[in-house]
Each structure stands twice: as structure tokens, then as C-alpha cells.
Amino acid sequence: MKRSLMVFLILCLAFSLLSPAAFAAGSSYKLDELGMSIELPQDYIVFTRDIKSNDPNLSAYGLTRDELYSLMVDGCIYLNAWDKDLNYEIIVTMTDSPVEDFNLYSDTALMDLASSAEDEYRNYGITYIKSELYQHSQAKFIKIYISQQRNGSTVYGLEYSTVYNSKAINITLQSYSGKINSSKEAILKEIVDSVRFDTAPSAASLENNSVGSEGGNIFSAPLNVLFIGAIFSLPIIIYRYAVKRRPVERKKAWIVSLLYSIVSALAVLAILAFQRGWLLAAFLLLWSCANYRILTGKRKKDVPVDGTPAESAVEGQKNAIPYPHMVSEGRPPEEDPACEEADSIRFCHQCGSELVSGSMFCSKCGAEIPVLEKKNQQERSRNHEL
């Protein structure tokens, strides 16, 4: 008995959590001018342009067929439906569009289009709240949340907009009982999902969608990224390898890279303020690390500070006589005991900088190496005696 009661309670809970729309039988409406069909809950009050003169809903609202038809034509409305409590209405509109199909556009381009429509909504006294994309089985929709003041109260709306076969189609829910909540969103989503267009998406549309939802984004294709990076680094490459021709000091390289990136990012933001330029600006800032690596990298043909090619300077250092004072005595350097002592001194006694092998003076502070100084004094004494 207890087990049966438990199963009954679980079933009651499950049914109570289901959306009421799941139980409502749908009615399909064919909109030939739009080339589509749409389903609405059966208990909705629905008006279309082909409504009959004896429809009971006309007399209930004090309308004639001609009056309703005129209103729908003026508003480009092809379907107008109300819920049974008259808390919200569903409006389907259509106008001809110079754009062929939203499926041919990337998500980024569509979001830019939605953002640019904010001023247009404002001109009609409509407040643009936010927008996002929705992928239907056949079409791409832009979801736009809006609000408008009417007769001292706020009317909230959720609009699904698409362009399909050169027809701009809007499916809008207007709420007269408060903001668009999750329940109303679910109802409108189910209605939009029921839409079936008479013609399938074009091959070009399917190919564009197969590339990815972010086909227009600068980060979608590796070739685009490499191309932008190469163009951005071109001045750095010219400065490093054609003008400077030697590695740049690390601190200076960081300063040059960051300043160049910041200036480039600000320029991009200024030029593409309404085209999501912040994405490219962020990429340029990150690319400053590559510019730093270019500036500090070394190669054999680099020119040192004194203007001599690095390769020649290294070769000359190899052939140079490290201890010229020993040549006059006719002894090879490796047999002179002072050589071992000199080689053991690797750091300057005055500034602590690392010494270049065979140098008589510190390249940093100019101090003379003690061992070589002592050796020079011995040679001067010997020459004086002679």
C-alpha cells in the first residue's frame, strides 16, 4: 500500500513539473505569403488574413473582417494570436528584405547587425534591452528583448527575427502582464521551433553553417590569425632586421612592444567601435609577446654596437692573441704561468662584471685586470734594467 502511494505521489509531482504547453494540442496555420507554417496552442484566439467573415472571434472583439484585414495589412501582420487570459499576444510579421538569408551570415555579423538596430528601435520609442542568437532547424534567428511604454504601463517583448528567402520574418511575444519570464520564453521558443519553411535551406547556407557558428570571428581560422599577426609585426620586423640589425635590449624591447600594441589596439577600437573591435584589439595586445621575441632574438649576421658584423667579430676574437705581452718574450701563452692565473679571474674586482677571456680591462668599468697589471709592471722593470 505504501509503495503504491509513493509511486502515485511521484507521478503527480512529475506531471505538475511539466509545462502546460506540453498538454495543449497544437493547431497548424499555413502562411503562404511567408512560405511557412506555424503551430499554436489550440486554446489561443488566432487571427490571420484569410479569416472568414463569420468567425465568432470577430464579433467577440467587435471587428469586421475588412477592418481586421486593413489593420493587418497596415502593420505587415500575417498572424495575430492571444492567450485565453489575454496576458500576452503572438504577432507574426513579414516584409521584403534586400538580404537573402541569415544562414549566409556568421554569428558575429548577425550580432553586429542586432547591435546596430538599437538606434532604430529607439527612433520608434522602443527600448532595446539585449539580444542573442538562436539556431532553428532551418534558419538563424536573432532574439531581441525589448520594452515600450503604452498608456502609462510598460509592455515587454521578445522578438525572434530572421531573413529566409529574402523575407524578413518576425515572431514576437508582447507581454501585458509583466516582464518576459522563463515560462513565456518557453512558450515562444516552442512556437518558433514549430515553424516549417516550405523550401529547404540553400546549399550555400548549409555550407556556411558547417564552417561553424563563429565563421566571421577573427579567431576561427588559423590562416586569418597568422595573416593579422604578420601584418601587425611587419614594422617590428623591419626595425629589428633592416634598421637596427642587432638584438634590442630586453627592457627597451618590452617598452617598444607594449607601446606599439597599445597604440594599435586603440586605433582598432576607434575604427571598429561598432564592429566588435575589442576582439582584434585584445589579439593585438597578446601578439606583443611575439614582437618582443622578434626584437630580442639573435642571428649570426647581427651587427654589434661598434658596427662590425657579429660573425666577423667572433671570428676575430678567436684569432686574436689573448696575451700580447708574451709574444715579445717568444713564449706561447699556454706555457706562461701567468696565463692560468689570468684565466682564473672571471669577474672584475671593482664592479663585479663578468670579464671577457683575454681582456686587459673590464668592459663595464674600465678597471685593469690585477694579474695582467702585475705582469705589465714586471715587464716594464725588466725593460728598464735592459
pTM, two decimals, is 0.51
pLDDT at 376: 56
Q: What is the mean pLDDT of each run of 10 residues along the chain (386 residues)?
A: 42 40 66 94 91 86 88 93 91 92 90 85 88 93 92 92 94 93 93 93 57 42 64 78 80 83 72 53 66 69 51 45 43 47 62 73 74 54 56
pLDDT at 147: 93
Which amino acid type is present at position 307? G
Angle between helices 250-271 and 277-286 (to 10 degrees): 170
By the 10 Å C-beta count (0-12 exposed, 13-18 middle, 19+ buried), 201 is classed as buried
What is d(CA 153, CA 88) in angstroms, rounded to the nearest whole number? 14
What is d(CA 284, CA 266) in angstroms, rounded to the nearest whole number? 10
What is d(CA 182, CA 364) in angstroms, rounded to the nearest whole number? 73
What is d(CA 127, CA 184) in angstroms, rounded to the nearest whole number? 19
Residues 146 and 121 sit within 8 Å (Cβ to Cβ) = yes
Residues 78 and 95 sit within 8 Å (Cβ to Cβ) = no
Partner residues linked to 171 by β-bridges: 92, 160
Residues 5 and 167 sit within 8 Å (Cβ to Cβ) = no
Residues 244 and 302 sit within 8 Å (Cβ to Cβ) = no
pLDDT at 339: 47
pLDDT at 203: 56
pLDDT at 280: 59
Element (H, E) at 89: strand 88-96
Residues 83 and 44 sit within 8 Å (Cβ to Cβ) = yes
Q: How far is CA 3 from CA 6, 7, 10, 11, 55, in A?
A: 5, 6, 11, 13, 52
pLDDT at 360: 72
For 225-237, the DSSP string reads: HHHHHHHHHHHHH
3-state secondary structure of 84: coil
By the 10 Å C-beta count (0-12 exposed, 13-18 middle, 19+ buried), 375 is classed as buried
Q: Which parts of 261-370 are beta strand (E)?
A: none
Partner residues linked to 149 by β-bridges: 154
**Sequence-distant (≥ 6) Cβ neighbours of residue 321 within 8 angstroms:** 327, 333
The single-letter DSSP state of residue 105 is S
Residues 290 and 229 sit within 8 Å (Cβ to Cβ) = yes
